[in-house]
Structure 1
């Protein structure tokens, strides 16, 4: 056994033919919804794309979500820490990205598309690893604190200019950059952010709450045009360059395989305990030690969703403000976008997802579709969380 017969090949052909007929007849021209069969991205509605997820047994391509709901478009006027933002781990480590050094790159990739595309799809948190390299600052995925030809991605200014273009074109959007910082050159980060034209959007450290209070509202940040929040992993740069030391303002769970163990959510070693209330922001990681493109669609689905309440409890009943994943577009349906919608529902209005939130309504009162239980019954189940997640 083991070899294909003519009958096997015929059966496979008939299955594929049936699939393409079904996909064509059910929906097309941008009308297909989540889980619908598709052939190309153009079949899927806005905010979706067409992809397979073999890791969960979905052999045929289906429409899956790649964009969360913009939370400020649903309910505005809240502090920055009352929203959750889709975040990409190693945002710069892009599949198929050309080498800028002439050497073959050996570092793995963590995302599928450009930083510009990520931002256009609703990503608002970018994790960037910055190194000294070739007398400049580069984005690099390396080891030992040094960047090499075979671990370098691109000069940091390239990515920062993409962010500048986006912020200029979208005057009500706020972007957060989280830097894993290996830059030792004096004022190295200041120079590259200045060269990229980003200082005009800088949110100053002096306005960041240091004792767990609310941040300024997003509306205030927009009005003042302070729409770029930047954190560094190097403590001395807060005084030296005015770049916020991440661990003074953010708690963060363990990254990598250890951070994906079902039922467990603990802080990474550099972070204060997750339930430390003197930090107003919570960054939740959910990605493996080694990026795995085929398996990412499974990781970013039920496993990710089930970890949200686990980390909520571990963080002293606080929902994550940043949700960081690999290959954010990959899932078996709603994926990381849906997970962020759930977080925003809880943070903004105490409801199970953001589409149930209503402007100017009482926290915990949810506008549910008719097919779901009434808002009154939902309010009873969400009130216990409501009192504990108003930050």
Structure 2
């Protein structure tokens, strides 16, 4: 054979092709300036949130002798939820160019204002992003009060199985308890023997934010009024955060533990966007652009809407399913999926990644 004969290149595997197309998408995103820091947005958001927090606390002091003070509990919950979203952004290094500044911003905003542990959230959320909706990798679909996968539902017997069969709609009724769960998980992580940076500081912040908050309420308000205020605030806080995270992946395909998809399809095929404009964006903390967030976790929140068009066009060109629904439709799909899992329907949402292993 002649040494000048052209060498035939091996045809790329499907996964290799998608890796290449993700690189093309990433270049287009960078060229559009969508990874540029948005300091004006974030400094304004931090400032407004702190002022709102101070205003609500002042209102509680002024109205402490009236039951009207309870009306401020949902307002405080809303402000705390916004701090939770800002902590999430900082943890993803969306806010500052400096990793250290992002880390400390996330730790302080989450611990002091939202009552959540940055160390706990980072450990859990990083695992979620590395394998969203994948069995054995994503802690968000692991065993818990709600069975999020058929494998978990199959382990339930007796009264637990009966409750699980009807979990689709009562899931929303127990969302208020998510606030308690988030605080408990944060404290549990801080007091656990697992390795954790800045453990003492995070413990101190949680003690002041959670313990000091409860103590202040019962010192300022009569016991009954303080109890109602606390229950409403924590319940609304849990509903806001749980309601923001539920539409993102629940009801999307569950990836088998042994699947090894490429990054593009791993993130897009199991994520759901929610339409609705600025109002929905405010209450979901930017997480309505879930597909773009998973593809570019460090992209500042204000840039996600612009990235959406690029990502949609890219997915159309490469025949990758891109899911977007209204918030109501997303919640309906969540409920139907959970009911299907609870009834142990065979493979209610077959994962398209099964064909790629």
- TM-score w.r.t. structure 1 length? 0.28
- TM-score w.r.t. structure 2 length? 0.29
Q: Which has the higher strand share?
A: 1
Q: Which has the higher helix share?
A: 2
